[in-house]
């Protein structure tokens, strides 16, 4: 099957790949994800109990405190951060954390990534070009 390619906007440069982890809910990196393990700990969150480490994390955008940027950076130092981030719209907190952590990030894709991308899809993210290649599982 031919991969689907979506074009968007580069937020943080870089190229990465990995398995998609998708949620329709916003994510807080301050209190919502354990930076030591990468596991989503927010009670009632769609991804509660899932690990973001090494995944391409697809979500609408961030929420919560500006401390989230430092937590995302902390995760990158610990090796528990996502391999890449795809947002519908990236807020400054997520952008700053991704910049500090050197995590390729794209947003503003031509189609809503939360609706198009499925958990387990293999994604190639070329943030330099604002491109996301979706290979169905």
Backbone φ and ψ for 92, nearest 5 degrees, come out as -55, -35
Closest CA to 95 of 80, 86, 105: 105
Q: Has residue 97 got a pLDDT over 90?
A: yes
Q: Tell me the residue range of the domain where 80 lies.
A: 4-135
Residue 110: what pLDDT?
95
Cβ neighbours, 10 Å, residue 101:
21
Q: Any idea how long the chain is? A: 137
Entry pTM = 0.97
Instruction: State the pLDDT confidence band at 137, using cuts at 50, 70 and 90.
Output: confident
DSSP 116: H
Decide if 65 is catalytic.
Answer: yes
DSSP 102: T
Domain count, the chain: 1
Q: Which residue has the higher pLDDT, 78 or 1?
A: 78
User: How many Å apart are CA 56 and CA 123, to the nearest integer?
Assistant: 7
Q: What is the pLDDT of residues 19-78, one digit of tens each?
A: 999 999 999 999 999 999 999 999 999 999 999 999 999 999 999 889 999 999 999 999
Q: Are 111 and 134 in contact (CB under 8 A)?
A: no
User: How many Å apart are CA 53 and CA 76, to the nearest integer?
Assistant: 9
Largest CA distance in the chain: 42
User: How many Å apart are CA 72 and CA 121, to the nearest integer?
Assistant: 23
Average pLDDT, the chain: 97
- Determine which one of 16, 24, 28, 65 is catalytic: 65
Closest CA to 23 of 6, 40, 5, 3: 40
Here the CATH number for the domain that contains residue 120 is 3.50.30.10
């Amino acid at each position: 099957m031919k991969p689907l390619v979506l074009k968007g906007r580069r937020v943080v440069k870089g190229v990465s790949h990995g398995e998609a982890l998708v949620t329709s809910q916003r994510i807080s990196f301050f209190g919502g994800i354990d930076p030591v393990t990468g596991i989503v700990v927010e009670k009632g969150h769609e991804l509660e109990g899932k690990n973001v480490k090494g995944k391409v994390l697809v979500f609408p955008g961030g929420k919560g405190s500006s401390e989230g940027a430092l937590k995302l950076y902390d995760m990158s130092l610990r090796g528990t951060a996502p391999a890449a981030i795809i947002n519908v719209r990236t807020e400054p907190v997520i952008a700053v954390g991704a910049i500090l952590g050197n995590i390729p990030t794209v947003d503003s894709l031509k189609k809503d990534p939360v609706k198009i991308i499925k958990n387990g899809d293999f994604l190639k993210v070329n943030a330099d070009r604002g491109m996301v290649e979706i290979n169905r599982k």
